[in-house]
Amino acid sequence: MNALKLFVKENILPLVEMPGQYIGGEWNSVVKTHTYADIKIALAFPDTYSIGMSHLGIQILYGLLNERKDTVCERVFAPLDDMESLMRKHNIPLFSLETYTPLREFDIIGFSLQYELSYTNILNMLDLSEIPIMASERRETDPLIIAGGPSAIAPEPLSDFIDIFLVGDGEESLPQLIELCKDTKQKNLSRKEKIISIAQNLENAYAPSFYEVTYHQDNTVKEIRPGISGLPLTVRSASVKDLNKTYCPTRPIVPYVKTIHDRITIEVMRGCTQGCRFCQAGMSKRPTRPRTVENILNLVELCYAHTGHNEISLASLSISDYPFLKQLMEQMNRIFSPRYVNTSFPSLRINEQLVLLPSMLNTVRKSGLTLAPEAATQSLRKIINKNITDEDLYKGIGEAFRQGWNLVKLYFMVGLPTETDDDIDAIARLAYNISDLKRDISGSFGRVNISIAPFVPKAHTPFQWHPMVTIQRIKEIRNKLFDRIRRKCIHVKFHNAERSILEGIFARGDRRLGKVIYQAWQNGCKFDAWEEHFHFEKWMAAFQKVGIDWTFYVHRQREDHEVFPWDNISCGVAKSFLMRERQKSFTEEITPDCRTAECPECGSCARSKNFCKIAV
């Protein structure tokens, strides 16, 4: 046991809440010697252990990299306040779980960008690691700071702090990055030369410090272009082509402490072609790539044998669209029901097939059935391209109640383009109608949990041009719904309005917002996604201190041909397609799923005529 680990275990961990999140050594974790490794990388999740260890992406990249003999891959999460204060008091740098190695001793630190409100945690973790927060101030001996994940497709707000963004699927780009880092080490390149070399040779790598951004007088972006030769005008998102051949961890780490999701998670399909106009993941992860039933069953058996979890989650952006779902569930029920292992879906699509799904989900423990109508009126659903009907919704939920389900969870968005008070009232009516369905079947009202989030326009979607509604309007909607919904068995959870606005600012922000993030961190902001840690007034003070008008980023209608801060990042979908979809929303025109209808020429796959034009 090294000296740091001994000191922490004896003097720090007895004084903190849930010390098990800081000790490492979990079942299936990997500990390697650093002596002979060519590359040492720490996967950094900018939130707590319980949230980070519930994330499938961390498990995938951790297992993938540790299969390499030339690589040591370890983990680190954001410490909570009690742990952080003791670390600072005793001058203990942030360290990895596996070997208690200070992060500054790794070659690479890779941050996972899952949510815009984790950005201050990144700065805090760098500061705890004794690594300069500003990329421009890092020394030759400092690790490369990289970042990937969903938010990396709109990376500009973090440009001051990240050396390299990896855009798209990490299974595709990270191994290539490791090889390039090995090469730059052998050539003994300087830190600057390493970053340039990676950005020139890896088409999914974006090095923001070597790109120049100019602005118009109205503060909109004029141009984003490379500052040196050899860098691409457009950075292309990495995309695995065959999910069956893509690495999937069959020995996932089993935490010793409670996490958000304590189960096996298998990704059955990547991508979605339903075309919801608000959905960033649905647009950026095209096309769909399903696993075979045989591949899924094999992975599930191996994970079960190596973990002993009693729940299996079959994950996808749209699990109802998995083409072999009936066959898969027949096999899953045959194999795992006798073992009392539960099978769950994260969310179900509402269509004519919904009525069949409750019988497929013949689970051991019938918890809530999760559905995402997003909007409660047909006209608003057409605007967002959510091609569902109340009839299919009621039939499916009615069958679920008959099969023994007692709880339905529904997700809605408010503040969508063209929304009126009638659309809000319809949410309440829909909730009562669903609760009444259970009474008609069994004599008692059904339990309905409603989760409501303000609509946040995202980059690379047809709604990236739209403004967000104001904080005042969001609170009006919240009060209206709480006033309308008074039945005890219907519960409403409403997302924090101020936090949603902040998410909206950084979801479509430019690199000038780096000053705000830094100032907010200095003001004490961290764990901003947590209600008890969020201080909107500190963020407002940060905007005022650096002289940036935050309303510019959320409340204005963007011009049709405006250059966006993320226009140099290509996710495969052409901007012209997004523009067409936006125009269709004005006339409530549905674009059907391209798997069953004609190709909409979105640009995401080789059958599209626009395929060769997406980098232009």
Q: Compare 440 and 516 and report the one with higher pLDDT.
A: 516
Neighbours of 372 (CB within 10 A): 20
Residue 460: is its pLDDT beyond 70?
yes
pLDDT of residue 180: 97
CB contact at 8 A, 348 and 388: no
pLDDT of residue 399: 87
Assign 280 a pLDDT band (cuts: 50, 70, 90).
very high
pLDDT of residue 596: 83
pLDDT tens, residue by residue, 151-163:
999 999 999 999 9
CA distance 45 to 122: 8
Overall average pLDDT of the 4-23 stretch: 95
Portion of the chain with pLDDT greater than 90, in percent: 85
Assign 365 a pLDDT band (cuts: 50, 70, 90).
low
Q: Which residues lie across from 494 on neighbouring strands?
A: 452
pLDDT of residue 367: 66
Domains of the chain in sequence order: 3-236 (3.40.50.280), 240-346 (3.30.750.210), 361-495 (3.30.750.200), 572-613 (no CATH)
Residue 117: is its pLDDT beyond 80?
yes
Query: Which distant-in-sequence residues (6+ apart) come within 8 Å of 234 by Cβ?
Result: 568, 569, 570, 614, 615, 616
N residues, the chain? 616
pLDDT of residue 176: 97
Query: Which distant-in-sequence residues (6+ apart) come within 8 Å of 147 by Cβ?
Result: 110, 111, 112, 113, 122, 155, 158, 162, 164, 165, 166
Overall average pLDDT of the 46-53 stretch: 96
Assign 605 a pLDDT band (cuts: 50, 70, 90).
confident
Residue 366: is its pLDDT beyond 70?
no
pLDDT tens, residue by residue, 481-507:
999 999 999 999 999 999 999 999 999
pLDDT of residue 318: 84
Average pLDDT of the residues of the chain: 93
610 by DSSP, 3-state: which?
Answer: coil
> SS3 sequence, 119-137?
HHHHHHHHHHCCCCCCHHH
Assign 354 a pLDDT band (cuts: 50, 70, 90).
confident
The gap from C-alpha 532 to its chain's centroid, in whole angstroms, comes to 22
Overall average pLDDT of the 14-35 stretch: 95
Closest CA to 550 of 605, 502, 597, 507: 502
* pTM, 2 dp: 0.95
Residue 196: is its pLDDT beyond 80?
yes
pLDDT of residue 188: 94
Assign 403 a pLDDT band (cuts: 50, 70, 90).
confident
Overall average pLDDT of the 462-489 stretch: 96
pLDDT of residue 177: 97
CA distance 586 to 382: 9
pLDDT of residue 590: 94
pLDDT of residue 356: 73
Q: Compare 612 and 462 and report the one with higher pLDDT.
A: 462
CA distance 591 to 382: 9
Assign 381 a pLDDT band (cuts: 50, 70, 90).
very high
In this structure, what token pair is assigned to residue 6?
Answer: 């001994």
Assign 554 a pLDDT band (cuts: 50, 70, 90).
very high
pLDDT of residue 1: 60
Residue 614: is its pLDDT beyond 90?
no
Assign 363 a pLDDT band (cuts: 50, 70, 90).
low
Name the DSSP letter for residue 602.
-
pLDDT tens, residue by residue, 139-185:
999 999 999 999 999 999 999 999 999 999 999 999 999 999 999 99
The gap from C-alpha 18 to its chain's centroid, in whole angstroms, comes to 26
pLDDT of residue 279: 95
pLDDT of residue 591: 94
In this structure, what token pair is assigned to residue 2?
Answer: 């090294």
CB contact at 8 A, 341 and 304: yes
Residue 353: is its pLDDT beyond 80?
no
- Number of alpha carbons in the 13 Å side-chain half-sphere of residue 439: 8
Assign 405 a pLDDT band (cuts: 50, 70, 90).
confident
CA distance 276 to 347: 15
pLDDT of residue 262: 86
Backbone phi and psi for residue 595, each to the nearest 5 degrees, phi listed first: -70, -25
pLDDT tens, residue by residue, 507-546:
999 999 999 999 999 999 999 999 999 999 999 999 999 9
Q: Compare 425 and 399 and report the one with higher pLDDT.
A: 425
Query: In which order are the strands placed within the sheet that holds 407-414?
Result: 369-374, 407-414, 447-454, 490-494
The gap from C-alpha 213 to its chain's centroid, in whole angstroms, comes to 27
pLDDT of residue 406: 85
Overall average pLDDT of the 234-258 stretch: 95
pLDDT tens, residue by residue, 85-96:
999 999 999 999
Least confident of 195-209, 310-324, 388-402, 592-606: 592-606
Assign 370 a pLDDT band (cuts: 50, 70, 90).
confident
Residue 432: is its pLDDT beyond 90?
yes
